[in-house]
Chain A
Amino acid sequence: MLCANNILAKEINIYSHRQPFLINPFLEAFTNETGIKTNVVYSKTGLAERLQAEGENSPADVILTVDIARLYVYKDKDLLASIESKKLEKNIPQHLRSPDNTWFGLSKRSRVIVVSKDSNALESIKRIEDLSDPQWKGKICSRPGSHVYNRALMASIIAANGEAKAEEWANGLVSNLARRPQGNDRAQVKAIYEGQCEIGIINNYYFGKLKFSDDPKQREWTKNLKLIFPNQEEGDRGSHVNISGGGVVKFSKNKKEAIALLEFLTNKKAQNLYGEINFEYPVNPEISPTKELSSWGTFREDNLQIIKIAELAPLAQKIIDRVGW
């Protein structure tokens, strides 16, 4: 006899801001465990607008994205369902999910400072704020400020120090740059290796991707590199983190299965996968980071309500425009 509760739909549809090659291993594991097939559209931009225009006719059940600001866009446009799941509440710390249960953080990434081994910055830089010190003039490399990771970092600094101080910091940082902001985080590591600068700001997982790259050249870049988790001293706020996350679409026809996917992504197996595949930290406090991640050092994170980062993003962008980062 079939029990109604156990009949799950055969398929769910996902709008993803994450590349297929990153999420496919998770989805395969999910399908193996539950028998639910997954279909994906991947795009970096515009999926929220597509979902909004499709309205009730949308085929989408789940959205998956990186960066809190993008999650917030979905919430802001009222595209996500408020769902009830004890599992999600238990697996995700309160500051990494929305108060109204519309979006959920699924993994963490830390924005860290990297310095070349021989640089005296290794000893002197303790806080992200130190990067605006004039002694690092011509020594820092960065991707453009408008990139979502830098914008989020900027927002975290506004949250900690206020708008005026944050702008002063950004001005100082820009005048310390060794070259016009360009490239992605990988490119900053490369620039340090090449001697164009000594200090860079990157997301922690890029370090892992380069260290274990298929390309021997890229593995070489990380050999002389050290990570600094900023703002770790007694009484300081901790290192800025961002999340990858997801939510269930408001008009989803397969909510139960959609929730099952989110729950799956916070369980032990998937949380470990985040570390193994992409060097990201688990959100689930019961799971410890992978061995490799732990070997880079432990750190205390900034426990700011992550939604603050999204709320401050427009202001952060304005400052970035003004200082020309």
Chain B
Amino acid sequence: MLSNWNTWSSIVALIALMIIAPVVAIFYSAFLGDTSLWPHLFSTVLPRYTYNTIVLMFGVGCLSLVFGVTTAWIVTRYNFPFKLILEWALLLPAAVPAYIIAYTYTDIFEYAGPVQGMLRDLFGWKTSQDYWFPEVRSMGGAILVMSSVLYPYIYLLTRASFLTVPVSFYQTSSIYGRNTFYYVALPLARPGIIAGLALVLMETISDFGTVDYFALETLTLGVFNVWMGMNSLSGASQISSVLFIFIVVLLTVEYLARRRQRFHEKSSGQDTVQSEEISNFKKIVCLIVCLIPILLGFIIPTFVLLNFVLSGFSIINFTEILEIAFSSIAIAAVSALVVMIISLLMIVVANYKSNSIQRILIFLASCGYAFPGTILAVGIVVFVGWLNDLIYFHLSYFVGGFIILIFAYTTRFLAVGNGAINSGILRIHPNLFDASRIMGISFFQSIRKVILPLVYANLLAGGILVFVDILKELPITLLLRPFNFETLATYVYQYASDELLEESSFAALIIIIVGLGPVIFLSNTIKNITNKKQS
């Protein structure tokens, strides 16, 4: 009987196993293949790749935390001008792909760009020898541009946590004269912050576009050099296995942080925090702090793209791009739905009914997020090949192609869905679910009636992050798509990879615009939910 608990946990474990399979396929080729490259890699490039990866992760992690947590706190806690706009505007950079922001920043800040040009005019400098200007294609540049588009993960999940902290907690800390932020808000929001940070760091590890454009030799770039340069997929997989160590460490830290921080809201319906009135000076400070990341992650890159669209108006094929936009949205929406359904099932099972093996499988099912997309795509290709030899699917290439693509997105972005739902479900006391089961309500009905209403905001947040992520996704789509199928991202890439930014600018802008709608909707929904709680 399907509603039986054990059946459900077994099904979920099976799905988790399917999702891990492509990663297993990568390892399979890593260790059964040619291992003669190891000594060369170890003595030449591997230390450099590892060092650069760690520095990049550390930098992006710190800066994203600063951007994400401070802004989340400010907009939750204080009243200041334009706050209602900033609340959702802070999410806008999430719609900007990192590979696009890298192009636009180089365009502005390089020698021939407007900023240096203006400085030269202003001070009468003639050549690059006359003055010092920070190199945008550098580690510092990469940290800045990546943080300014990745911090929304932290902002979103942290803010959701801040909003749901019962107001009595804040009042208690005020009575005792303690700092509300350090003693109440921050510790209580830790699962959300860490979940966001883990996503940011995994995105950082797997990024290819930015590090390639800035020529930063990270492990991910190394994977490509070995694969393409030495014609050795097994060498590339071996470097990926170094990456895998990073990923497991990250996932474990996240898991432990959650466990220690597990707490439950026993009485729902408590009032949540109200914003505070502050002095005019503080209002201005708040405004500036919130504007900086929006400026860096959204306004500047969008402005540059708009500029390209205007200057390249005659060479842009608008109708073609709009058709492509439609198919991009369709595939992203369907895939996001699939990802969230699987995430929900998985997290419910992992939290309420699973043995340790099942929990480990579910835990590992998130790791696809941190692999370089192309390597994961190759793992999927290999796995689907095996599967097809085993059971021959009588699907047309067209239908089969889409199924593979959706499966690939699931392996890639499940971590985002799991992270979002997990941070919500940890607040629900297990008794609630058990009670529902004891009353003889089926697994599905229990999810629908008990879990769904309580994690609705998290489900939506996760779904929209996944949707936007898929819209931006490049390497997997590029490799696994059916014939003649373009998405906005692949369309942008064919030009941008050749530095033909004008041709690609309109499609890039559409990616951002399409991402905006859901992001704004999401912000409003979260607010409405908290408002309802209060009334």
Chain A residues in contact with chain B, CB under 8 A? Answer: 13, 19-21, 39-47, 49-50, 52-55, 57, 59, 69, 72-73, 76, 143-144, 146, 148, 151, 179-184, 186-187, 190-191, 193-196, 214-215, 217, 313-314, 316-318, 320-322
Contact = CB atoms under 8 A, between A and B. Distances in A.
Given A13-B483, A146-B225, A194-B112, 4 more contacts: A42-B494, A44-B478, A49-B382, A55-B385
9 contacts: A20-B486, A39-B484, A46-B377, A54-B381, A190-B112, A194-B111, A313-B229, A314-B231, A317-B229
Most buried by A among B214, B227, B230: B230
A47 B228 CA distance: 12
B44 interface: yes
A46 B215 contact: no
Contact of B378 (A46, A143, A187): A46
Contacts of A316: 229
Given A53-B385, A146-B229, A194-B111, A45 B128 contact: no
A45 B112 contact: no
A45 B232 contact: no
Nearest to A321: B44
A46 B127 CA distance: 43
B494 A196 contact: no
Contacts of B382: 49, 53
Contact of B478 (A43, A179, A180, A184): A43
Interface of B: prevailing SS:
helix
Interface stretch (B423-431, B433-441, B496-504): B496-504
Contact of B128 (A76, A146, A196): A196
A151 B502 contact: no
A105 B364 CA distance: 45
Contacts of A183: 137, 215
Given A73-B231, A183-B137, A195 B381 contact: no
Interface range on chain B (Cβ under 8 Å from partner):
35 or more
B479 A20 contact: no
A314 B232 CA distance: 9
A21 B137 CA distance: 28
B173 interface: no
Interface in B177-226: 214-215, 224-226
Given A21-B494, A314-B231, A321-B45, A45 B385 contact: no
Given A59-B483, A215-B502, A322 B229 contact: no
A321 B475 CA distance: 25
Nearest to B501: A215
B213 to A, nearest CB: 8
B385 A40 contact: no
B374 A45 contact: yes
B483 A40 contact: yes
Given A53-B384, A321-B40, A59 B397 contact: yes
A313 B482 contact: no
B375 to A, nearest CB: 9
Interface of B: 40-41, 44-45, 111-112, 127-129, 135, 137, 214-215, 224-233, 311-312, 315, 374, 377-378, 381-382, 384-385, 388-389, 397, 475, 478-486, 490, 494-495, 497-499, 502-503
Contact of B230 (A19, A180, A193, A314): A314
A184 B137 CA distance: 13
Contact of B494 (A20, A49, A143, A214): A20
A69 B128 contact: no
Given A21-B495, A151-B229, A195 B127 contact: yes
A47 B479 contact: yes
B525 to A, nearest CB: 37
Nearest to B482: A41
A19 B498 contact: yes
A53 B311 CA distance: 44
A21 B316 CA distance: 12
A187 B378 CA distance: 31
Minimum-distance CB pairs A-B, first 3: A53-B385, A317-B229, A39-B483
Nearest to B379: A49
Given A46-B381, A196-B128, A69 B231 contact: yes
Given A41-B481, A148-B228, A190-B112, A195 B128 contact: yes
Contacts of A190: 112
A308 B361 CA distance: 46
Contacts of B127: 195
Contacts of B486: 20
A53 B479 contact: no
Given A21-B495, A49-B381, A217-B112, A322 B44 contact: yes
B128 A194 contact: yes
B207 to A, nearest CB: 15
A187 B499 contact: yes
Contacts of B502: 214-215
Given A215-B502, A322-B44, A317 B230 contact: yes
Contacts of A43: 478-479
A318 B40 contact: yes
Contact of B480 (A50, A144, A148): A50
A187 B136 CA distance: 14
A165 to B, nearest CB: 20
